[in-house]
Amino acid sequence: MTFDFRNTNALWASVLVATLARLGLKTAVISPGSRSTPLTVALVSHPEIEAVPVLDERSAAFFALGLARRTGQPVALVCTSGTAGANYYPAVIEARESRIPLLVLTADRPPELRDCASGQTIDQQRLFGTFPNWYAELAVPVAELGMLRYLRQILGQAWGRSLYPVAGPVHLNCPFRDPLAPIADGSVTHLKDELSDDFLAAVGVPAHEEVSTLGIALPWLETWRTCDRGLIIAGPVQPVDPLGYCKAVAALADYLGWPVLAEGLSPLRNAAGLNASLVTTYDLALRQPIWAKDLVPEQVIQLGPLPTSKRLRQWLQTAQPRRWVVDPGNTNLDPLHGPVTPLSLSVTTLAQVLPPVSEARLPGCYHDQWLVLEAGLRQQLDRALADLDQLFEGKIPWLLARSLPKETAVVIANSMSIRDVEWFWPPGDRALRPYCNRGANGIDGTLSTALGIAHGGPPAVLLTGDLALLHDTNGWLSVPRLRGHLTVVVVNNQGGGIFDQLPVATLPVPGERWFEDFFTTPQTVDLNRLCAAYGVNYERVETWSQLTASVSSLPTTGVRLLEVRCDRTQSHNLRQQLLTPPEALSNLLNQNP
């Protein structure tokens, strides 16, 4: 790349961007502003980096987060000084909690213009607190070879810290003095002979070698192998290589002869053919007190965070089995504060040290109990959902899982959408790829995250409630820049249905509408008109056959919204009925030989 020698800021920014490109940066999401001009010009000018303009910084950050989540590679975020960067905060938190690599570049005024009432200036030092993996403030640009070497070095460090040892956000505060525009002034031409393209040859992609875990894993394998009542619980892990993850879990389950409880976000539910020990109806099974008592395990291998299911967590909290948390992140993933041993390795690494298949343990009675329940409950649940004609929120994820094209990315909003996926998403072999912002479990940035996941990738689908969608309507501003396709399936039940599941719904508080006004907060937005305002195709879904036809094949470009209107109270009642094990199945465990 040819560096920009028009002035000091232009040279500094072009070296910065060229270094990031050398490290592997492919995409930068940029919001408009004056102080960030040098960065914007350099990024837009680089032939190997796609620069995506997004007006709203909060939407921009979640767009970048979605893209980084799908690719597993850092995405750059660029904004001007002042409160612009503060709008990144929710996405920075999610990136930290979900281990997603982001490079956050906030432009700033130089030190002499801070704390003196200069315009659009706030204290941006460590703006995001302890959430970034690493923070640094760059020096004010200087046209000097030694300082450009410093810049090159600090960018390599930032790139590496965004990926290793655990991925997450890195914040670089970038001060610039005037002039911000790349107006030629002849001040840096003396560096042309010293700064050639070979300058970037010293930039090396940071290497990371996983610490050998053979000594860590082997002692536990024999402990697990001799256990007759063991469980593998797969939480909301969203790996870049889902097939490799699924094969590793299957290998571990086969070796131990243990059943695998896989939550709705786990890729395991979409590669069921690889794992004969898969259990998806555990939340339903644990609602039956006798079954819950009979199924208490002695040992549990927990893969990543615990599943969404509150009932599963309560069951583990009461039973207090011995647990091993397999996760490479070196973070505490035990909100139950039970007898837990953390194993800092990935399940794929663990699978690599398993003894030969010939030494695998045959499944026992405990394993078979779970599989008998899974077969009976799954058959009953699938039959009930198939026969249901009325529009019910919980049938939507069930239908999507059975209808979407293979390998479709499915973004799932928090609140009721993710819980309906946990309860009703069936096992299958369509290799669908579920995503959700489960780091902080918020609804902010839902639409923008989905657009980021769809950008440059295969067609994607977003399953969301009305409130999560409306919370991020500025995300629609990115639609004209989208490379790819997103179908939004919105469950419009006129409010936050999740609150109907909570005790607050039954509290005797004065005032007829207090619960509606302050918890469910129903909105009256006409989604058809909202779509028209942003140029988004709209379709009202009236029947299940219509929804199936609409999602069985997906467009390759553009955005469309499918609105499914459901009665919130009716859906709540149906949920309770479907999640109550029928009396006819009460003797299932007794039938197990």
Helix (H, G, I), strand (E, B) or coil at 171: strand
Helix, strand, coil tally for the chain in percent (to 5): 45, 15, 40
Same domain, 279 and 316: yes
260 closest CA partner among 237, 233, 291, 286 = 233
Same domain (yes/no): 392, 370: no
The C-alpha atoms of residue 31 and residue 10 are separated, in whole angstroms, by: 19
Any domain includes 130: yes
- 227 CB burial (10 A radius; 0-12, 13-18, 19+): buried
Q: In 3D, which of 430, 423, 435, 376 has the Cα closest to residue 280?
A: 423
Count of C-beta atoms within a 10 Å radius of residue 485: 18
User: In the prediction, which pLDDT does 411 show?
Assistant: 98
Q: How many domains does the chain have?
A: 3
Give the alpha-carbon dihedral of 106, 107, 111, 112, to 10 degrees: -150
Find out whether the peptide bond into 179 is cis, omega within 30 degrees of 0: yes
My answer on whether 133 and 270 are in the same domain is no
The pLDDT of residue 376: 94
Are 451 and 478 a contacting pair, CB within 8 Å?
Answer: yes
Domain identity same for 481 and 411: yes
* 251 in the same domain as 280: yes
CA distance 184 to 353: 60
| Residues 169, 288 share a domain | no
The 8-class DSSP code of residue 221 comes to: H
Residues 520 and 437 in one domain: yes
Q: What is the CATH number of the domain that holds 16?
A: 3.40.50.970
Among the three residues 179, 203, 233, which one is the final residue of a domain in this structure? 179
For residue 165, whether the previous peptide bond is cis, meaning omega lies within 30 degrees of 0, is yes
Verify that 164 and 310 share a domain, yes or no: no
Could you give the 3-state DSSP secondary structure of residue 178? coil
Domain-located, residue 131: yes
**DSSP reduced 3-state for 435:** strand
Q: CA 339, 319, 268: angle at the middle one, nearest 5?
A: 85
* Non-local CB neighbours of 162 within 8 Å, separated by 6+ positions: 74, 101, 102, 103, 133, 134, 168, 169, 170
Supply the DSSP string of 337-350, one letter for each residue. Answer: --SEEEE-S-HHHH
CB within 8 Å of 426: residues ≥ 6 apart: 269, 280, 378, 381, 382, 398, 401, 402
Do 561 and 470 belong to one domain?
Answer: yes
Interatomic CA distance for residues 63 and 483, integer angstroms: 12
Query: What is d(CA 335, CA 324) in angstroms, rounded to the nearest whole number?
Result: 14
Task: Count Cβ atoms below 10 Å from residue 285 Cβ, excluding itself.
Answer: 26
**Is the same domain home to 422 and 548?**
yes
Question: Digits of tens for pLDDT over the chain (593 positions)?
Answer: 579 999 999 999 999 999 999 999 999 999 999 999 999 999 999 999 999 999 999 999 999 999 999 999 999 999 999 999 999 999 999 999 999 999 999 999 999 888 888 888 889 999 999 999 999 999 999 999 999 999 999 999 999 999 998 999 999 999 999 999 999 998 898 898 888 768 888 787 666 655 445 555 567 888 898 899 999 999 999 999 999 999 999 999 999 999 999 999 999 999 999 999 999 999 999 999 999 999 999 999 999 999 999 999 999 999 999 999 999 887 889 999 899 999 888 999 999 888 887 666 788 899 999 999 999 999 999 999 999 999 999 999 999 999 999 999 999 999 899 999 999 999 999 999 999 999 998 999 999 999 999 999 999 999 999 999 999 999 999 999 999 999 999 999 876 666 666 666 666 665 557 666 667 677 889 999 999 999 999 999 999 999 999 999 999 999 999 999 999 888 889 999 999 877 767 777 765 44
Q: What is the pLDDT of residue 285?
A: 95
User: Virtual CA dihedral for 503, 507, 511, 512, nearest 10 degrees?
Assistant: 60
Residue 228 lies in a domain: yes
Q: Which domain holds residue 515?
A: 388-579
Which structure tokens are listed for 440? 């902080």
C-alpha torsion 89→91→95→101, nearest 10 = -100
How many other CB atoms are there within 10 angstroms of residue 382's CB atom? Answer: 14
Which domain-ending residue is among 149, 179, 209?
179
Q: What is the CATH number of the domain that holds 247?
A: 3.40.50.1220
Residue 22 lies in a domain: yes
Among 156, 179, 202, the domain boundary falls at 179
* Residue 393 and residue 370 share a domain: no
Q: DSSP of 232-295, one letter per residue? A: EEE-S---SSHHHHHHHHHHHHHHHT--EEE-TTSGGGG-GGG-TTEE--HHHHTTSHHHHHHT
Would 211 be classed as within a structural domain? no
Answer yes or no: are the C-beta atoms of 61 and 87 closer than 8 Å. Answer: yes
Sign of the dihedral through C-alpha 531, 537, 538, 541: negative
Question: Which pLDDT belongs to residue 590?
Answer: 66
352 in a domain, yes or no? yes
**Domain assignment of residue 123, yes or no:** yes
Alpha carbons 15 and 23: distance in angstroms, whole number: 12
Give the pair of three-digit tokens for residue 202: 């010293």
The answer on 241 and 342 residing in a single domain is: yes
Does 507 fall in a domain? yes
> What are the tokens at 153?
């070095």
| Cα 434–chain centre separation | 9
